[in-house]
Chain A
Amino acid sequence: MEKKVKLADCGSTWTKILDVESDSLEIITTREMVQRNDPPFDIATGHSAKKRCGKFKNELLALAEGALSLVDKDDFSIVDVGGRDIKYIRFKGGKVKKIDWNLACGATTGATIELLAKYYEIDLSSLGSVDTWINVTCGVFGMERVLESVSSGESPERSVAEFIHGMVRNVFNFTQRPSELYLSGGFCDNKCFLDSMDKYCKTIPLGRAVLIEGLKEK
């Protein structure tokens, strides 16, 4: 029996697994992936992948190759907003012009939004954007601001929307304030995030499988 080829992007909070033969994408929590006793992935990327795959690919390299496969342009910028980091690449003439990877300040913001939504029982799929924001230096400082805002009488929904707006401002500045930006990762499904991004630049969501696309052997 022929072995199924599995590619995976194992992030800090979510894992995306592609069965190449059936072209089916499975998205599970990384907590579940760690607990499952699956055989190692054939090729994988992401913080949680290194000891769980036959061949590991650097996240930024996967993002770069995935972006070039999916975007039919020579000059563009892409950002991947993850659970604990933000990766950015600007292409010029089809070549990498600038890369950056925010690992410290500004980090863990994605995971923090999930924690806050769970704690306040907020449905992120229907949360609207707001014009005001709070400063989100990092996940911990941002969460402290949300807790303070709710304590002061603001609704949890508005406080979390302000957190998301603050995070969007960080992303916009981190990506050097582009007029158009391709977005990769779980925030492609977050209406509040997308609406907040549109206040600053045209944002084109590419979905959660951009890094997986970059793992495919051409």
Chain B
Amino acid sequence: MTATYVYGLVAAGADLPDGLVGLGPSGEVRTVEHDGVAALVGDVPSDRPLGTRDDLMAHEAVVDKVAAATTVLPMRFPAVVEDDQVVDELLAPHRDRFLRALDALDGLVQYSLKGRYVQEVLVQEIVEEEPAVADLQERIRGVPEDASYYDRVKLGEIVARAMEQRRDVDARDVLERIGPFAEQVSSSTPAQPDDVVEAAFLVARDKAEEFEREVEELGGDTHEWLRLRLLGPLAPYDFVPAED
């Protein structure tokens, strides 16, 4: 079989930006339309499996360049169908679902925000406020690494727990301040204690500037202890409706 790579879905006839470069040997990105919905597709390298750095970057670049111009449902990497099955397997059976989702996301883009503590500042604060930390530091000092292993684990655990308590408060503050500038917010608790916030915001295209300005202002107010990283505008990765 020959395979076709699928980047995402758009409304039929949507204006696509120029300069899209796909991950296939031809680099081509085109659309296959069916009854109001269109798949963004391209060729697939036939001499190697997918999954290189360049493949991932190309998929993201195509989807997010399109997202900057029009509403797109991004496929999870990697999505491949047989050449002659784009309509029969993908578009026709799921047409209504795709159109509903495109309609619900019309005029909206995603921003992803991550915030991480400036570690030195937070650790300093915790060392000053948690008496147990100073005690353990004293015990570890000058002791060989192997001998202090359990004390070091314990010390780190106290610091990590203290950090988690602080971040619950700080994450809420961030979301309360930025949330009102978005239509929808999806946030998760980060795995690492010094990661404060990981959230995706669905923002109206015409309010994107305002949203970015608010994030910048927040960054200015908190930069001494919080590093913010903002991605976007992106395709609505976090807001794609789950399968029916």
Q: Do A and B form a real pair?
A: no
